[in-house]
Amino acid sequence: MFFIEVILPLSLAKTFTYRVSEAEFHFIKKGMRVAVPFGKSKIYTALVSDIHENAPTLYDAKEIHQILDEKPIATETQIKHWLWVANYYMCGIGDVYRGAFPTGLLLESETIVSHKPEVVVNDSELSDDEFLVYEALQHQSSLKVQEIASILNKKNILPILQKLIARDIIVLEEEIKESYKPKLVRYVKLHSKYETDQGLSDLLDILRSDKQKEIVLAYFQISASEKKPITEKKLVEVSGSSSAVVKTLVKNEIFEEYYLQQDRVLFNGEKTDKELQLSEAQENAFLAIKDSFSEKEVCLLHGVTSSGKTEIYIKLIEEYLQTGRQVLYLLPEIALTTQLVSRLRLHFGDKVAVFHSKYSNNERVEVWKQTLENSEKAQIVIGARSALFLPFNDLGLLIVDEEHEQTFKQTDPAPRYHARDAAIVLANFHNAKVLLGSATPSIETYFNTQSEKYSLVTLTERYKNVRMPEVVLVDLKDKHFRKRMTGHFSDVLIEEIAEALSLGEQVILFQNRRGYSPIIECITCGHVPHCQQCDVSLTFHKFKNQLRCHYCGYAIAKPTHCHSCSSIDLTTKGFGTEQIEQELLSLFPKAKTARMDQDTTRGKFGFEKIIDTFKNREIDILVGTQMLAKGLDFDNVSLVGIMNADNMLHHPDFRAFERSFQMMTQVAGRAGRSEKQGKVVIQTYNPSHNTIQQVTNHNYIGMYKEQLYDRQIYRYPPYFRIIKLTIKHRDFDKLKEGSMWLYQVLSQNLNMPVLGPEEPVISRIRNEYIRTILIKIPQNLHLGNTKKTIQKMLNSFEAVAQYRAIKVTVNVDFY
């Protein structure tokens, strides 16, 4: 008897055993996919994790349906890493498998398939089975995989479907295609042969008609007054001529026309080989990093904002590519990948592959296969946290940029892993090096460098010695008292914006809340509309004129009168990005404004559209939420305004101060990234607050020491590890009883602080009540054993009949 162990893409903690024939046994290798029956009638795509000859004792092994791959599609190192993730973050191995694999490789009986309407298919190329599927989909828009199986009267239909998917005849349901063509703008510049003084006098002799002279003179006039590239449209407007004349001038080689997308490289007209001249400080940092890699596996590059960390990464990547090893570059935000890909493609051409969740299934499967084959096209993989799970052959270097970002931690669904920590373990398996980069490292990482676990390299000056932005604090108490506020703008901020706009520079305004205003309140009785399913007030979105819940998506039209006392006096409290955008329209009617938050960046290319237009300087003021704080790079921004620094500081979270410091420093770092020193205006009710003073003085070490002192007293990381249990149920009393039971069992069996069961700030979401329990594990205790103990207690909790319906989720290192 021959058997295989497989991982199923379900939230299950163990592997399952299936029976195979002798021929199959010799053919199958670890990391291949097989279609297996599971439960009464379902078929899943499972992954082979082991091959052996021991029959399972508890159940009869079923036979597999068939083998789906000819060679392994996942590597052994990869499976080893998954097991570590499952073990450390206390989730099922099936969760990790499901989260890691692109959906295109995970067909199952419930998957829905539909055909692509615009594809022309040659019937003669299809096999009989394929034709039957194709024909069935002509009559019915979409079918479940199970239904197709009954049409063909076959069990094994997954290979047929895979062929059809590969040929782009059918698509899986969850994909929605969206195509984005960047807007190309036509620019003109003087032909290079006329750039000398001699050339200019020749030029005026050549010009025949007055119209042509007018246009050329207009060109000089504009280029003298504005330092930016000149669009054809503007040239025609100023000279009062027509675009036909411009075309003639281009034809006669007096002007050259060129198109600009988001490329900054065209501005200086240099070849990209010259681009990478590291400054002295960068060169020193680069050599220090290389030295540190000989002693330690992990190095932290702590460089102030705009100190040119990306250039150092590129230099390092070059070195690793020469040794023929792969490089993985992780970023916190999908929005950042777009900016970075264009920068890296300049240096490495098509060796760069991109992998993140906004890509369609086919694109992700392609990158997966390229990485597996170690192909030329995937020598460098850039991605958000999910790129961690790709099947690398020989990983040499892992770069985690902006490592302090909280988006590296996955919250839902499981596996709830932290990409930075999982990356360090992955590098360990591959014997690779890790470089963490940040202007404001997280306290844990910095603590690790101080305790000599990681090495530390610092860059204290900005690239080209640009000065750090000047920070201006505005005391809102005082401004309100002196009646110097217009809406949510202080007089200082308005003056600064007006000045920046008059110089043709761009402005970024930061407000960490989307929507128009978080609360609508009745003046007569004080009633506030709440969500029916969650315990939160509804946020008003003026643009759609509705109130929405940001947790479950519930929405109602904006009420005309109060729902409890029918009064018509409703007022809004608090403010979000939409409201700031509205106020800007009345304050600066001529300026073009845009906002960047979750509502405006839905869809695959939402970010690019906004980033491109901002970069092409078509937008003067950009209002946004925390997306703006991530390392975006705009060279024309001279002013950054933080609308209200306090709502971050008072967040009920032990990292509130650290996060606020990071957020404000990062947002401030967007200002003045080229020659001129930038300005940052921070509006706050509490200008003497330590954290705000530390931001003003760019004092990271001060913040680090102060926070570390607090963390030690109150038993928080890095001195204690935290595991958070979230317990949910629709019945309030049952939840209360169950969570209390669990808490008592935990606190009796663990000799460490267990806090709870606590109602979180938002104690009900989607009609489920929530309680949380925190377990703080001191550094000197063995983490693995503690987790085993906790897991045992969770298992016994599930074994209690009346608590079986209560959901418990475990979040390790939830911060």
Residues 782-800: tens digit of each pLDDT: 999 999 999 999 999 999 9
pLDDT of residue 204: 73
Q: Which of these ranges, 42-51, 88-97, 202-211, has the smallest mean pLDDT?
A: 202-211
Q: Which of these ranges, 48-52, 68-72, 157-161, 427-431, has the smallest mean pLDDT?
A: 157-161
Tell whether the model's pLDDT for residue 256 goes beyond 90: no
Distance from C-alpha of 511 to C-alpha of 643, rounded to nearest angstrom:
6
Tell whether the model's pLDDT for residue 358 goes beyond 50: yes
Tell whether the model's pLDDT for residue 194 goes beyond 90: no
Tokens representing 607 are: 């970010």
Distance from C-alpha of 235 to C-alpha of 247, rounded to nearest angstrom:
12
Task: Report the pLDDT averaged over residues 76-90.
Answer: 94
Tokens representing 308 are: 């040119």
Which DSSP category does 517 fall into?
A: B
Contacts of 414 (CB under 8 A, 6+ apart): 11, 89, 91, 92, 95, 99, 809
**Considering only CA atoms, which of 516, 535, 698, 671 is closest in space to residue 595?**
516
Distance from C-alpha of 344 to C-alpha of 420, rounded to nearest angstrom:
21
Tell whether the model's pLDDT for residue 554 goes beyond 50: yes
Contact status, residue 466 vs residue 672, Cβ threshold 8 Å? yes
Q: How confident is the model at residue 262 (pLDDT cuts 50, 70, 90)?
A: very low
Q: List Cα–Cα distances, 560 to 73, 360, 465, 557, in angstroms.
A: 58, 42, 56, 9
Q: Tell me the residue length of the chain.
A: 815
Q: How confident is the model at residue 190 (pLDDT cuts 50, 70, 90)?
A: confident
Higher pLDDT, 222 or 403: 403
Higher pLDDT, 210 or 565: 565
pLDDT of residue 278: 84
Residues 416-450: tens digit of each pLDDT: 999 999 999 999 999 999 999 999 999 999 999 99
pLDDT of residue 264: 29
Average pLDDT, the chain: 86
Higher pLDDT, 409 or 126: 409
Q: Which of these ranges, 56-70, 218-232, 693-707, has the smallest mean pLDDT?
A: 218-232
Tell whether the model's pLDDT for residue 18 goes beyond 90: yes
Tell whether the model's pLDDT for residue 737 goes beyond 90: yes
What whole-number percentage of the chain has pLDDT above 90? 48
- In this structure, what are the phi and psi dihedrals at residue 467, rounded to the nearest 5 degrees? -75, 155
What whole-number percentage of the chain has pLDDT above 70? 94
Contacts of 128 (CB under 8 A, 6+ apart): none
Helix (H) or strand (E) holding 334, with range, is helix 334-348
Tell whether the model's pLDDT for residue 541 goes beyond 70: yes
Tell whether the model's pLDDT for residue 76 goes beyond 80: yes
Residues 165-177: tens digit of each pLDDT: 777 777 766 443 3
DSSP string, 294-333: HH-SEEEEEE-TTS-HHHHHHHHHHHHHHTT-EEEEE-S-
Q: How confident is the model at residue 574 (pLDDT cuts 50, 70, 90)?
A: confident
Tell whether the model's pLDDT for residue 243 goes beyond 50: yes
Helix (H) or strand (E) holding 274, with range, is helix 272-275
Higher pLDDT, 398 or 178: 398
pLDDT of residue 176: 37
Q: Which of these ranges, 126-140, 555-569, 649-663, 766-780, has the smallest mean pLDDT?
A: 126-140
DSSP string, 213-246: HHHHHHHHHHHHH--S-EEHHHHHHHHT--HHHH
Higher pLDDT, 467 or 717: 717
Q: List Cα–Cα distances, 1 to 17, 47, 55, 63, in angstroms.
A: 12, 20, 8, 11
Q: How confident is the model at residue 604 (pLDDT cuts 50, 70, 90)?
A: low
DSSP string, 146-210: HHHHHHHT-S--HHHHHHHHHTTSEEETT-------PPPEEEEEE-GGG-SHHHHHHHHHH--SH
Distance from C-alpha of 512 to C-alpha of 647, rounded to nearest angstrom:
8
pLDDT of residue 814: 82
Which DSSP category does 105 fall into?
A: G
Distance from C-alpha of 518 to C-alpha of 574, rounded to nearest angstrom:
6
Tell whether the model's pLDDT for residue 565 goes beyond 70: yes
pLDDT of residue 273: 52
Distance from C-alpha of 4 to C-alpha of 209, rounded to nearest angstrom:
84
pLDDT of residue 807: 92
Most trustworthy range by pLDDT among 574-578, 623-627, 634-638, 658-662: 658-662
Tokens representing 667 are: 């947002």
Residues 29-39: tens digit of each pLDDT: 999 999 898 88
Task: Report the pLDDT averaged over residues 482-495.
Answer: 93
**Considering only CA atoms, which of 747, 741, 803 is closest in space to residue 775?**
747
Strand, coil or helix: 624: strand
pLDDT of residue 515: 80
